[in-house]
């Protein structure tokens, strides 16, 4: 398992009738509402767009599809059971990561020729990892209490690279580092917001652990805010911050210089003592579980370039949930990750699309800001971010979006054989032939002769292919990243 992002400076068709999800205990009175009625009034089924009804333990749509709670927070992803399966699997991977790394550290400490300082460093890392595993496990208890149902259909999928700890460093940035990064973000947004900015209902998409939307909520004394994300660790951690809990976590810098910087214990806490009408929700921004025109202001922080959807389609979803004259506020870079270049927009293309999807650009700013600048790190990174405020001037059509292709959703369809698959097949076959030819007796020259004979290729080319593959294999074992 690769979890470099955990501590590194590099930054992150068929309907389901019954979710099969275990119902967590909520309250002794089954008719009590675990979430405010004001929030329930905004909600709709993210899959069917129908009203949701609270049945005393879950939210349900008219077809009977259940949306449970994780703790006290509604789980409103469009296909709740398969989304839970994804994150339960990610929690299993996380525990395996901790187990593997701790065992490796323990084995290394058994070496006889280690210096006392090296042994101390390894022991410090081991203890820090065990502590973090327990704290994160406690935080994720509401997820662990859910039942995994591996028989559910893959109706849609959270991108595979999304792990629970992909944005682990953001927790430290948001809740403990004594840096100006949080205040700098707030200051930049204040430049594009009107002095009288006071939305009645404020929504944040991709809120992470929610520090920026919370700063805005408190700074402007907002009357009502909702923050959504689909990452359980981030939302559950944010919930603990809203409850003013203090959590100790170890930051493990990637390249510490001194022994004291190997594992730094930090206390993460909320700087605000009194918070009212700030609500968290598990939701997918591509399938928002809100009724039309529910909000008069919406924020996308460090978001528009990482969602697996064309900016045009994202703008349509933002438009749908905004009231007439509602405002879309954006903050973050344009580091689009699409393989298709035509989707990797510049600011001029952003402007053009905003106009086409019913918005009028009011104000913008381009600023250079530090990014996840830990006081304990030897590395620093800066990002040029685009902030804009756009007003909704008319409705637009919300076109359907489907992340996965039909052949992955309908298991009776033929899997297409294209040039990408054929290239992968060839590489996989060659690599498998190399690996299964290794028996502890043959040299690289012996392997090259076998490959040359099998594939009817020149011996030198076969040898070069084998050396390149084995070199990558070796480096993957000895390098951290």
Percent above pLDDT 90 for the chain: 75
In the predicted model, is pLDDT for residue 97 greater than 70? Answer: yes
Residue 34: what pLDDT?
A: 80
The pLDDT value recorded for residue 152 is: 56
What integer pLDDT is reported at residue 149 of this predicted model? 67
pLDDT at 6 over 60: no
Which contiguous run of DSSP H or E holds residue 186?
helix 181-192
Q: Residue 438 in contact with residue 469, Cβ under 8 Å?
A: no
Mean pLDDT of 196-214: 97
pLDDT confidence of residue 128: 98
Give pLDDT, residue 432.
93
Model pLDDT, residue 155: 60
Beta-carbon contacts of 315 under 8 Å, excluding residues fewer than 6 positions away, are: 328, 353, 354, 357, 358, 359, 396
pLDDT band at 28 (very low <50, low <70, confident <90, very high): very low
Among left, alpha and beta (phi > 0; psi -120 to 50; other), residue 277 is left
Q: Choose among 369, 330, 326, 49: nearest CA to 202.
A: 326
Q: Which tens digits make up the pLDDT trace of 280-291?
A: 999 999 999 999
Q: Would you state the pLDDT for residue 348?
A: 97
DSSP β-ladder status, 382-392 and 73-74 = unpaired
pLDDT tens per residue across span 216-255: 999 999 999 999 999 999 999 999 999 999 999 999 998 8
Confidence of residue 117 (pLDDT cuts 50, 70, 90): very high
Mean predicted confidence (pLDDT) in 365-376: 92
Q: Give the model's confidence band at 356: pLDDT under 50 very low, under 70 low, under 90 confident, else very high.
A: very high
For the chain, the average pLDDT equals 89
Evaluate if residue 131 carries a pLDDT over 70. Answer: yes
Contacts 24+ apart (CB under 8 A), 117-121: 117/259, 120/259, 121/259, 121/262
Highest mean pLDDT among 6-10, 216-220, 418-422: 216-220
Higher-confidence residue of 29 and 218: namely 218
pLDDT band at 151 (very low <50, low <70, confident <90, very high): low
Query: DSSP for 94-144?
Result: HHHHHHHHHHHHHHHHT-TT--HHHHHHHHHHHHHHHHHHHHHHHHTHHHH
pLDDT of residue 406: 87
Q: Is pLDDT at 19 greater than 60 in this prediction?
A: no
Tell me if 300 sits within 8 A of 330, measured CB to CB: yes
């Amino acid at each position: 398992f690769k979890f470099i992002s955990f501590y590194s400076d590099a930054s992150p068709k068929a309907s389901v009738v019954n979710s099969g999800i275990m119902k967590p205990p909520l309250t002794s009175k089954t008719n009590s509402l675990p979430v405010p009625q004001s929030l329930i009034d905004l909600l709709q089924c993210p899959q069917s767009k129908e009203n949701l009804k609270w049945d005393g333990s879950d939210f349900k749509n008219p077809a009977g599809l259940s949306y449970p709670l994780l703790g006290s927070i509604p789980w409103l992803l469009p296909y709740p059971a398969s989304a839970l399966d994804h994150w339960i699997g990610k929690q299993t991977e996380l525990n395996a990561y901790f187990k593997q790394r701790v065992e490796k550290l323990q084995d290394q400490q058994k070496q006889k020729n280690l210096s006392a300082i090296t042994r101390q460093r390894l022991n410090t890392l081991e203890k820090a990892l065990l502590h973090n595993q327990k704290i994160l496990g406690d935080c994720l208890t509401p997820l662990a209490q859910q039942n995994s149902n591996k028989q559910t259909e893959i109706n849609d999928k959270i991108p595979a690279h999304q792990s629970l700890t992909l944005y682990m460093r953001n927790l430290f940035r948001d809740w403990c580092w004594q840096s100006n990064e949080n205040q700098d973000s707030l200051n930049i947004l204040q430049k594009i917001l009107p002095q009288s900015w006071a939305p009645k209902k404020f929504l944040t998409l991709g809120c992470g652990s929610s520090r920026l939307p919370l700063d805005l909520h408190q700074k402007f004394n907002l009357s009502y805010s909702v923050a959504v994300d689909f990452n359980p660790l981030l939302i559950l951690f944010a919930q603990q911050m809203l409850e003013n809990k203090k959590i100790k976590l170890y930051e493990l810098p990637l390249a510490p210089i001194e022994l004291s910087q190997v594992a730094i214990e930090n206390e993460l806490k909320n700087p605000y003592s009194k918070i009212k009408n700030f609500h968290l929700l598990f939701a997918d921004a591509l399938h928002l579980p809100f009724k039309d025109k529910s909000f008069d202001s919406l924020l996308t922080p460090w978001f528009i370039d990482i969602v697996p959807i064309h900016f045009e389609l994202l703008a349509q979803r933002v438009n749908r949930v905004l009231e007439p004259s509602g405002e879309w506020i954006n903050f973050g870079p344009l580091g689009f990750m699409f393989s298709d270049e035509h989707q990797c927009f510049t600011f001029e293309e952003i402007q053009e699309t905003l106009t086409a999807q019913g918005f009028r650009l009011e104000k913008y700013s381009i600023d250079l800001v530090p990014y996840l600048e830990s006081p304990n790190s030897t590395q620093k990174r800066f990002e040029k971010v685009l902030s804009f405020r756009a007003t909704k001037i008319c409705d637009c059509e919300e076109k359907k979006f489907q992340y996965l292709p039909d052949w992955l959703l309908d298991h009776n369809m033929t899997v297409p054989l294209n040039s990408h698959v054929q290239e992968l097949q060839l590489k996989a076959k060659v690599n498998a032939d190399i690996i299964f030819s290794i028996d502890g007796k043959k040299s690289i020259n012996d392997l090259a002769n076998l490959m040359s004979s099998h594939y009817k290729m020149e011996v030198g080319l076969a040898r070069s292919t084998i050396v390149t593959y084995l070199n990558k294999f070796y480096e993957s074992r000895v390098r951290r990243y």
